Structure 1
Amino acid sequence: MGTHVIKMPDIGEGIAEVELSQWHVKVGDLVVEDQVLADVMTDKAMVDIPSPVHGKVIALGGQPGEVMAVGSVLISIEVEGAGNLKESAAPAPVKEAPAAPKAEAVVESKPAAAAAPRPAPVCQGPMVAREADERPLASPAVRKHALDLGIQLRLVRGSGPAGRVLHEDLEAYLAQGQSNASTPVAAAYAQRNDEEQIQVIGMRRKIAQRMQDATQRAAHFSYVEEIDVTAIEELRAHLNEKHGASRGKLTLLPFLVRALVVALRDFPQMNARYDDEAQVITRLGAVHVGVATQSDVGLMVPVVRHAEARSLWDSAAEISRLANAARNGKASRDELSGSTITLTSLGALGGIVSTPVLNLPEVAIVGVNKIVERPMVVKGQVVIRKMMNLSSSFDHRVVDGMDAALFIQAIRGLLEQPATLFVE
């Protein structure tokens, strides 16, 4: 028997160190060639590290959250024969993805040959035997869904990795007729003294670093404008009724992307990147719109490239494709970089006003709040209109307040008179 030692690979782009985000194996596990051993996080994406050999794991070179230098020992594997007599770098990473660890604990892996499809989620028995202070694993979206349904997550059996509760598990729970009514009322009012510590690693650490960097370096200021979206919502409904079956349904986002493209013709200073170290502003003709997307592991910003050359349906299809890739952890590094201006929306949770943080080195971000019906005075008459706020932020180091206000006013005019979106 021999030992095969794998070093942290050189992922490219001049990266000297990466963060070890998650192990997929533990000491004693048998692994096969091409089985994913670990996830490592670069500045832009998650990268899977595969095994180049069959063997047994005998040592791990680091802990999740540890920053490791390229070339440092990643893992040691016992193999048949002499093994590699000298330490060698791991094979080239086989997949890039913006996903962070799928569970807060190390997940035991089995050889790929023994892997089996994940069974459909089932809830065995009336409820899960969890302690009152035990916090089940679940994404923010699943937690909100459970809250909306009135379900206590600790009662739901999770079918995901490490027992993570999925949307399907909530549906299975409801299908069995379980509800909060099945638990004693006293349990809902029981005192709790539990605490939970969650290590900030992987994608969450990168998000935290980027947000802190953005707020410390840029001189943020925000501007909020109210917009009457009644007309554009009527147009959207009409287009969906007429072309939805053949071209796909349109949300408001592609209209907003189109409004950005048209408004930027008169405000090119908003479609720019600012290198504050070199003191250089680069204005771009191409409009690469970053669309902030919430995933189970945090905020991703996939990029709709050359939005200026896309139709409504082309933009809609690309937004949908990128959002799905980000949520499923399959967006590539290129798809998550290179934006020139960002569009962010909390959808139905959009609230009244928000103060979005700039996506450096960009100088503008346009935030979308939720649409609500309100009584408005139009030509002396009180009528019901669909209203929405745009809450946008700018880098005051390079964008003047007047220009920012005029830019958002231009977007407002385009959305309130939607025909002007398409008049050249």
Structure 2
Amino acid sequence: MGTHVIKMPDIGEGIAEVELSQWHVKVGDLVVEDQVLADVMTDKAMVDIPSPVHGKVIALGGQPGEVMAVGSVLISIEVEGAGNLKESAAPAPVAAKEAPAAPKAETAAESKPAAAAAARPAPVCQGPMVAREADERPLASPAVRKHALDLGIQLRLVRGSGPAGRVLHEDLEAYLAQGQSNASAPAAAAYAQRNDEEQIQVIGMRRKIAQRMQDATQRAAHFSYVEEIDVTAIEELRAHLNEKHGASRGKLTLLPFLVRALVVALRDFPQMNARYDDEAQVITRLGAVHVGVATQSDVGLMVPVVRHAEARSLWDSAAEISRLANAARNGKASRDELSGSTITLTSLGALGGIVSTPVLNLPEVAIVGVNKIVERPMVVKGQVVIRKMMNLSSSFDHRVVDGMDAALFIQAIRGLLEQPATLFVE
């Protein structure tokens, strides 16, 4: 028997150290070649570290949350063969893989490889409830999360029957049915005193998000501007295009139209498509429109980038948004796909609320936030009619952007969305 020592690989881009985010194995586990051993966090992305050998884990080189230097010992694996000590860097970290075809809104992100999933403890069912680890976030699509919210169900208590334990709509119904079957249980348990506490270490992606949000709010002079938009016409256009071309070109959401509106409006407001280096006191305005699309993943908020949105059609933008969102939710987005944005678009979809105050994605100077669409009675030409209304809640860096310019910029977007033909008139 021999020992194969795997060292922290050089991930590139001059990175000298990375944060160990999560182990997928423990001492004593048998591993196979290409099985994911650990996740490490760079400044830009989560990276999988696979095993180059078959063997048995005999030592781990660090704890989750620990910052490790490139070249330091990551893990030791006992292997068959000569007794001499072997050392190597881990094989090339798993980069972004080609994403599957664009998912539907409710399509769940794919699970990690089965070998890695097998290394994690399986959920334990306790009646209608499931025990999960303290830091484990249940896997579920945004639609399922909203359904659970509407039903008043704590998602962490629901057993998931989907891939990797993902919670599906039918799991929510099953949970409700189990709750009804246990209705005869003593109600007093629901009112019992609780004194338990839970401590969750802020590491990995959550730590990076916390650092970036804190940095943004401390360095930039945020101000927000909210405007109401009538999206009835553009929703009718979207429905028409989906009915006519959806089967052959793919379904359109509202996001590609918003990206197009940004591109057109930025022609008259180039100061919004900019980055501000506050140390050098330099504003860089860019001709290319690289739109960051804030995406919620199971490890936290990520911002994949639709590059050169100014050169994309509606369907091209839609396909790229879906591809990037799928990669981000799978944790497979590359560093290049998560950097380089010039302006950001953020939306909570059906959970978008009425008003939000998005935080800037530094060094950008503008972020456009999308709230949910609601039907409301409106007065149009003296008549009360039902219209589809939506708010844009946007934030700007007041060090660079004046309030009047921000208002005019959002009003320009409003005009484009309310008269959607103008999105395509050159």
Q: TM-score range by the shorter chain?
A: 0.7 to 0.9
Distance in 1 (alpha carbons) for counterparts of 2:8 and 2:98: 15
Distance in 2 (alpha carbons) for counterparts of 1:77 and 1:179: 49
C-alpha deviation, 1:371, in angstroms:
1.6
Distance in 2 (alpha carbons) for counterparts of 1:159 and 1:73: 38
Summarize the Cα distance change of 1:202–1:126 in structure 2 as closer, same or farther, 3 Å threshold.
Answer: closer
Distance in 1 (alpha carbons) for counterparts of 2:102 and 2:321: 22
Comparing 91-100 with 332-341, greater Cα deviation is found at 91-100
Distance in 2 (alpha carbons) for counterparts of 1:101 and 1:247: 13
Summarize the Cα distance change of 1:36–1:304 in structure 2 as closer, same or farther, 3 Å threshold.
Answer: same
Summarize the Cα distance change of 1:357–1:369 in structure 2 as closer, same or farther, 3 Å threshold.
Answer: same
Distance in 2 (alpha carbons) for counterparts of 1:352 and 1:376: 16
Q: Does the Cα contact within 8 Å between 1:45 and 1:99 map onto a contact in 2?
A: no
Q: Does the Cα contact within 8 Å between 2:230 and 2:389 map onto a contact in 1?
A: yes
Q: Does the Cα contact within 8 Å between 2:37 and 2:116 map onto a contact in 1?
A: no
Distance in 2 (alpha carbons) for counterparts of 1:418 and 1:106: 31
Secondary structure of 1:370's counterpart equals: strand
1:376-402 superposed Cα distances (whole Å, 9 cap, x missing partner): 222333332222111111111111111
Q: For structure 2, which runs of at least 5 residues remain unmatched after alignment? A: none
Q: Does the Cα contact within 8 Å between 1:273 and 1:283 map onto a contact in 2?
A: yes
1:149-207 superposed Cα distances (whole Å, 9 cap, x missing partner): 34455764345899775656435546778577465433333332222111111111111
C-alpha deviation, 1:421, in angstroms:
0.8
Alignment of 1:223-372 (within 5 A): 223-372=225-374
Q: Does the Cα contact within 8 Å between 1:263 and 1:407 map onto a contact in 2?
A: yes
Q: Identity across aligned pairs (percent)?
A: 99
Q: Does the Cα contact within 8 Å between 2:117 and 2:164 map onto a contact in 1?
A: no
Summarize the Cα distance change of 1:410–1:6 in structure 2 as closer, same or farther, 3 Å threshold.
Answer: same
Summarize the Cα distance change of 1:239–1:44 in structure 2 as closer, same or farther, 3 Å threshold.
Answer: same
Distance in 1 (alpha carbons) for counterparts of 2:104 and 2:417: 40
C-alpha deviation, 1:87, in angstroms:
4.3
Q: Does the Cα contact within 8 Å between 1:121 and 1:159 map onto a contact in 2?
A: no
Summarize the Cα distance change of 1:93–1:23 in structure 2 as closer, same or farther, 3 Å threshold.
Answer: same
Q: For structure 1, which runs of at least 5 residues remain unmatched after alignment? A: none
1:356-392 superposed Cα distances (whole Å, 9 cap, x missing partner): 0011111110011112222222233333222211111
1:197-245 superposed Cα distances (whole Å, 9 cap, x missing partner): 1111111111111111111111111111111222212222222222223
Comparing 290-299 with 12-21, greater Cα deviation is found at 290-299
Q: Does the Cα contact within 8 Å between 1:50 and 1:93 map onto a contact in 2?
A: yes
Summarize the Cα distance change of 1:96–1:318 in structure 2 as closer, same or farther, 3 Å threshold.
Answer: closer
Secondary structure of 1:182's counterpart equals: coil
Q: Does the Cα contact within 8 Å between 1:123 and 1:157 map onto a contact in 2?
A: yes
Q: Does the Cα contact within 8 Å between 1:218 and 1:395 map onto a contact in 2?
A: yes
Distance in 2 (alpha carbons) for counterparts of 1:51 and 1:396: 48
Distance in 1 (alpha carbons) for counterparts of 2:211 and 2:297: 18
Q: Does the Cα contact within 8 Å between 2:288 and 2:308 map onto a contact in 1?
A: yes
Summarize the Cα distance change of 1:79–1:213 in structure 2 as closer, same or farther, 3 Å threshold.
Answer: same
Distance in 1 (alpha carbons) for counterparts of 2:359 and 2:98: 26
Alignment of 1:8-407 (within 5 A): 8-82=8-82, 85=85, 87-94=87-94, 144-151=146-153, 153=155, 156-158=158-160, 169-170=171-172, 172-173=174-175, 181=183, 183-407=185-409
CA RMSD of superposed structures (Å): 5.2
Q: Does the Cα contact within 8 Å between 2:327 and 2:333 map onto a contact in 1?
A: yes
Summarize the Cα distance change of 1:22–1:262 in structure 2 as closer, same or farther, 3 Å threshold.
Answer: same
Distance in 1 (alpha carbons) for counterparts of 2:107 and 2:197: 17
TM-score normalised by structure 1 residue count:
0.85
C-alpha deviation, 1:49, in angstroms:
1.4
Q: Does the Cα contact within 8 Å between 1:27 and 1:59 map onto a contact in 2?
A: yes
1:55-97 superposed Cα distances (whole Å, 9 cap, x missing partner): 2211111101111111111111222344554644322223799
Q: Does the Cα contact within 8 Å between 1:151 and 1:179 map onto a contact in 2?
A: no
Secondary structure of 1:128's counterpart equals: strand
Q: Does the Cα contact within 8 Å between 2:125 and 2:131 map onto a contact in 1?
A: no
Q: Does the Cα contact within 8 Å between 2:3 and 2:86 map onto a contact in 1?
A: no
Q: Does the Cα contact within 8 Å between 1:98 and 1:330 map onto a contact in 2?
A: no
Distance in 2 (alpha carbons) for counterparts of 1:370 and 1:170: 24
Q: Does the Cα contact within 8 Å between 1:105 and 1:162 map onto a contact in 2?
A: no
1:14-54 superposed Cα distances (whole Å, 9 cap, x missing partner): 11110101111111122222222111111111111122222
Q: Does the Cα contact within 8 Å between 1:151 and 1:180 map onto a contact in 2?
A: no
Distance in 1 (alpha carbons) for counterparts of 2:8 and 2:307: 32
Secondary structure of 1:12's counterpart equals: coil
Distance in 2 (alpha carbons) for counterparts of 1:365 and 1:299: 15
Q: Does the Cα contact within 8 Å between 1:121 and 1:169 map onto a contact in 2?
A: no
Distance in 1 (alpha carbons) for counterparts of 2:52 and 2:394: 48
Distance in 2 (alpha carbons) for counterparts of 1:288 and 1:250: 20
Q: Does the Cα contact within 8 Å between 1:287 and 1:340 map onto a contact in 2?
A: yes
Q: Does the Cα contact within 8 Å between 1:9 and 1:70 map onto a contact in 2?
A: yes
Distance in 2 (alpha carbons) for counterparts of 1:58 and 1:117: 15
Secondary structure of 1:123's counterpart equals: strand
TM-score normalised by structure 2 residue count:
0.85
Q: Does the Cα contact within 8 Å between 1:122 and 1:172 map onto a contact in 2?
A: no
Comparing 314-323 with 169-178, greater Cα deviation is found at 169-178
Summarize the Cα distance change of 1:27–1:186 in structure 2 as closer, same or farther, 3 Å threshold.
Answer: same
C-alpha deviation, 1:107, in angstroms:
20
Distance in 1 (alpha carbons) for counterparts of 2:78 and 2:359: 48
C-alpha deviation, 1:136, in angstroms:
7.9
Distance in 2 (alpha carbons) for counterparts of 1:292 and 1:88: 37
Q: Does the Cα contact within 8 Å between 2:356 and 2:393 map onto a contact in 1?
A: yes
Summarize the Cα distance change of 1:415–1:92 in structure 2 as closer, same or farther, 3 Å threshold.
Answer: same
